[in-house]
């Protein structure tokens, strides 16, 4: 699965967003490819990192097959893992 990653501007970060991304990369090693989001590329899913509750990162310019997942607090990591695991299961079922 191909996952685009979008970070907010970081004006008021309340958690180590890049550290969480590294955690996710380790957890999904060999199963999900994470790449910084770029326009013109189609992603399976887009992961949007906000640094605070505003989660103001724009993302409408990116194209995804399965939507997006937002997180803005370290407490969201387990939910994100569960959602990504679910997306992997759906992708496996479609094969």
Mean of all residue pLDDT scores within the chain: 91
CA distance 67 to 56: 17
Enter the pTM of the model.
Answer: 0.88
Tell me the per-residue pLDDT of 58-80, one tens digit each, with 9 for 90 and over.
Answer: 899 999 999 999 998 999 999 99
Nearest to 73 by CA among 90, 93, 52: 52
């Amino acid at each position: 699965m191909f996952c685009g990653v979008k970070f907010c501007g970081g004006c008021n970060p309340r958690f180590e967003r890049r550290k969480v991304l590294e955690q996710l990369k380790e957890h999904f090693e060999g199963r999900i490819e994470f790449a910084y989001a770029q326009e013109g590329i189609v992603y399976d899913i887009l992961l949007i990192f906000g640094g605070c509750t505003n989660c103001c990162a724009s993302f409408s310019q990116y194209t995804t097959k399965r939507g997006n997942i937002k997180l803005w607090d370290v407490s969201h990591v387990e939910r994100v893992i569960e959602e990504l695991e679910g997306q992997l299961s759906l992708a496996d079922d479609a094969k």
